[in-house]
Amino acid sequence: MNGHVLAPGTAAGEALVLDEPLSLWGGLDPNSGEIIDAHHPQHGAVVTGRVLVMPAARGSSSSSSVLAEAARVGTAPSAILLGEPDHILAVGAAVAEDLYGARIPIVVVDPRQLASIRAGQRLRIEGDGRIGPG
Amino acid sequence: MGAALAMRLVVRVAQALDAERLIPITRAHVDSCLYHGQASLDFAQRLLDGGARVSVPTTLNVGSLDLLHPELWRGDPEHAERGRRLMEAYRALGCHATYTCAPYQLSDARPGLGEQVAWAESNAIVFANSVLGARTERYGDFTDIACAITGRAPNAGLHRTDARRAVLVLRLAADVPEALRDADALYPVLGIVVGRRAGSRVAALDGLPPGLSEDRLKAIGAAAASSGAVAMFHAVGSTPEAPTLEAALHGGQPEAVVEITIDELRAARDALSTADAVPGAPIGAVSLGTPHASVAELHHIVAELAGRRVHPDVELLVATSRGVLAAAEEAARRLQDAGAELLVDTCSYLGPILRPTPLPVMTDSAKWAYYAPGNIGARVVFASRRECVESAVRGRVWRDPALWGDA
C-alpha cells in the first residue's frame, strides 16, 4: 500500500480503525489519549501509540492544537492514515515536530485501500508513504 | 527564525491543499489565541522568541476569558492565567486586541468584495466569504498566525473563483409561513438544516426574502458551520455574489435542488433543545450573543426588555465584543441597569462563566445550543431572542405560540 505524505516520518503500531470521522477538538482528550466524543462509535478507545485510521478528519480547526498538545503530553497516535487530505492535522504534526521533536507521520491513502485495513492489524509506515505489515 | 517557521507551516498547508503557489493576503483573523494546553503557549513563545511579527492588519478571535471583566471567570485561576498570557502573547505578535468571533462587525476590520484574506473561526470564515465576498479558506490554529506573519496564503479552495460556485440549491418550500420568513428565529434553524444538507459544499439558498440583514446572515452561517463544514453559502438576493440564482451557480447546473419544508425546520429546531422546553418550566440562565451581538442586536434586547428587570433567579448573559460595547454605551448601560451581565473577549460556552445551575439554560443561538451541552454540560432550551428575553424576565420558559405556526 502506498500513500501521499502530508507529514513525514516512520512509525509502527496497531491499527485503530475509526468508523466515522473524528474531530480531535472536543473528540480527543490530549491528557489521556482517549476518544471523548460521546456520539462517536469508538468512544472510549485510546489512540496513544496506535496507527489511527480514519476516512476523514472532521470539524474544528482547533484540532491542530489538540494534536500538538497530545504530542507534548505523549498521548498522540504513532501515525495517522486518512482517506482524504486534511491540512489542519498536517499543521498540527508540523508544530509537534518543531516544538517537541515528535514525529507523527500522516499519510493519505486511497479510500478503498484504507477500508481494507483491519482493526488491530500491525502496520509500519515508511518515510516515503509506503505502508506494510509491522 | 519565527518567520521561517511560519513560512514552513504555510507551505505545509499549501502542499496538503495541492496549491501550486502562494498569494498575498491583505488581512488575517487569528483564532490561535484560545488556550488548548501548554502547546498553545509554547508555539506563541516560539514565534515571539524568533522575532516574528504579523505583516498584515490582524484581528484576534475570542480567548479563554474576559480581560475587561475578569471577575466573571468561575474556574481554576491557574487556567485563567494561562489563557490571559496566551491572549497577551498574540497581542505582542502585533495582532489587534479585538478578541471577537465577529470581527466583521468592526468597521476597520471588514475586508471588501474580492479581497484575499486568511481568516480563522468557522462563523467568521463563512461570513467573510458569503456576506462580504472576501476570499478565505478554512484556516485554523497555527495556520492563521502563520499566514498573518508571512502575508501569504495558498492559492487554493475558496481563494479561487471556481470553488465559489454553488453546487447545490436549497429552496425554502411554499409551506414555510410568510410570518416566519420575516422572523429572526427562522435563520439559525435554517442554518442548521443548511449545514446538514450541504456538508462542506457551497449551497445557494433560494426563496428567502431579499436583502436579509447581516445579523440574519450571521445566524445562518454560524449554525451551518456548526452542523456542517460550510465555509460559504449564497443567499439569492442578499449576498454579493448571488444577485440571481444563475449568478450563484456561475451559469452552471446544480448537483441537486432540495426543498426545505416547515417539518424539517421544526425538527431541526426541536433537536437544538436538550432540556424539557415546556412553557412555564423554570430556567437558570439565558445566554445571548453567540456569535457576538451586534449593536443592532443589543438595541433589540433593550427594546424587548421594555424597561423591566431580569428575574432575580435568572442570570441573563449577553456576549459581545469590546469594540461593539464601546460603540453602544447607552444600550450597554440600560442592559446592566436591567440586571443583565455583559461578557466580552470570550464566549460563555468555552469555560466556567455561567453561574452553576441545575436548571436549563435558554439561548437564541443554534451554535451555542450545539456546543454548550458537550463543552460545559449545559441543558439547553433553544428559543427566539424575544422568547429568551421574556423568559429571563419571568424566570420561566415563555413561548410565542404564533411564531412557528405549530399546531
Q: Is A80 on the interface with B (CB under 8 A)?
A: no
Whether B375 shows a pLDDT value over 90: the answer reads no
Terminal-to-terminal C-alpha distance of chain B: 65
CA distance A36 to chain B (A): 10
The sheet that has A122-125: what strands, in order across it? A4-7, A106-108, A79-82, A51-54, A11-17, A122-125, A131-133
A74 at interface of B, judged by CB pairs closer than 8 A: no
Residue found under cell 460559504:
B232
Q: Please, what is the average pLDDT of chain B?
A: 96
Question: b/e per residue, B116-133, with b = 16+ CB within 10 A?
Answer: bbbbbbbbbbbbbbbbbb
| d(C-alpha A11, C-alpha A82), whole Å | 15
Q: Compute the distance between CA of residue B203 and CA of residue B187 in angstroms, rounded to an integer.
A: 15
**% of chain B beyond a pLDDT of 70:** 100
Q: pLDDT digits over B173-190, tens only? A: 999 999 999 999 999 999
Chain Cα centroid distance, residue B189: 14
Q: Which of A38, A63, A65 sits opposite B37 (nearest CB)?
A: A65
The pTM (predicted TM-score) of the whole model is: 0.96
- The pLDDT score that the predictor gives to residue B136 is 98
**B-chain residues within 8 Å CB-CB of A25?**
36
The per-residue pLDDT for range B228-270, each reduced to its tens digit, is: 889 999 999 999 999 999 999 999 999 999 999 999 999 999 9
Report d(CA B261, CA B297) in Å as an integer.
28
- Name which of B79-88, B160-169, B299-308, B348-357 the model is least confident about: B348-357
Q: How far is B225 from chain A (nearest CA, A)?
A: 9
Per-residue pLDDT at B297: 98
The ipTM is: 0.95
What tens digit of pLDDT does each residue of B6-30 get?
A: 999 999 999 999 999 999 999 999 9
Mutation target to probe the A interface, by most A beta carbons within 10 A, among B7, B139, B142 is B142
Helices (H), A1-134: 63-73, 87-100, 111-115
Would the CB atoms of B13 and A62 count as touching at under 8 Å?
A: no
CA distance B27 to B151: 8
B277 pLDDT above the threshold of 80 = no
Annotation says A60 is catalytic: yes
Instruction: Enumerate residue ranges in chain A where pLDDT < 50.
Output: none
Of A58, A90, A96, the CB nearest to B16: A90
**Rounded mean pLDDT, B86-111:** 98
CB B173 within 8 A of CB B138: no
Residues in chain A, total: 134
pLDDT at B407: 56
pLDDT at A99: 97
- CA–CA–CA angle B140, B146, B147 (5° rounding): 85
